[in-house]
A and B are shown apart, each in its own frame.
Chain A
Amino acid sequence: SAVISQKPSRDICQRGTSLTIQCQVDSQVTMMFWYRQQPGQSLTLIATANQGSEATYESGFVIDKFPISRPNLTFSTLTVSNMSPEDSSIYLCSVANNEQFFGPGTRLTVL
């Protein structure tokens, strides 16, 4: 399986600010995704990060709030914009060629 890293691993942020999370893979992958796992809940897909084009967002998630970049086949960023306490969550990137694997996650707390 691919080795996936995320930065930062955790952060505490003030409401109204934005945080950009980076996801790096050690090999080229076809698909990259961003998920959110809110406290005590399971994972919810935010969007598919498309290389060289705009991300594809799931229902309930919009580009203005969660802009995503994917400049190449090994790297993607997710920005959580204009944060509120409700954005406190773990954000995970995942990669897939055939099976899907997850990065270690970024634990975000918004005060």
Chain B
Amino acid sequence: RKEVEQDPGPFNVPEGATVAFNCTYSNSASQSFFWYRQDCRKEPKLLMSVYSSGNEDGRFTAQLNRASQYISLLIRDSKLSDSATYLCVVNRAAFQKLVFGTGTRLLVSP
């Protein structure tokens, strides 16, 4: 079983739609959680950290459920520019060793 699991997609949605991605992790000792965005042939870029209380940044909302070892990302009012691969990332320990999911591909169409 992979340490971080995501649905690879692709998720095809129209502009303006709301879309949600889920991610599960297996290591209960994981300490911090992130969503990264990766565009084709580019490096991953930090989208947002994920906190136990949930956090929001504009159209993006991230949730963490430690009991279920589950992380989510909600994107509201999707834009064409949101098309990318979204990587669920877990910090395995205190030494910033990130473990990446395989990513969920999002395609937003006009």
Contacts and interface: CB of A to CB of B under 8 A. Distances in A.
A31 interface: yes
Contacts of A48: 95, 97
A42 B43 contact: no
Interface stretch (A13-21, A67-75, A76-84, A95-103): A95-103
A12 interface: no
B6 to A, nearest CB: 9
A101 B89 CA distance: 13
Interface in A28-76: 31, 33, 41-45, 48, 58
A94 B98 CA distance: 10
B46 A99 contact: yes
A41 B102 contact: yes
B87 A45 contact: no
Interface residues of B, number: 17
Contacts of A41: 102
A96 B45 contact: no
B43 A103 contact: yes
Contacts of B43: 92, 102-105
Given A31-B96, A45-B98, A48-B97, A100 B87 contact: no
B46 A42 contact: no
Given A48-B95, A48-B97, A105-B43, A99 B103 contact: no
B103 A42 contact: yes
A1 B101 CA distance: 23
A96 B100 contact: no
A104 B42 contact: yes
A102 B37 CA distance: 11
Given A45-B99, A100-B96, 9 more contacts: A1-B46, A41-B102, A43-B44, A48-B95, A96-B96, A99-B46, A101-B45, A102-B44, A105-B43
Interface of A: 1, 31, 33, 41-45, 48, 58, 92, 94, 96, 99-105
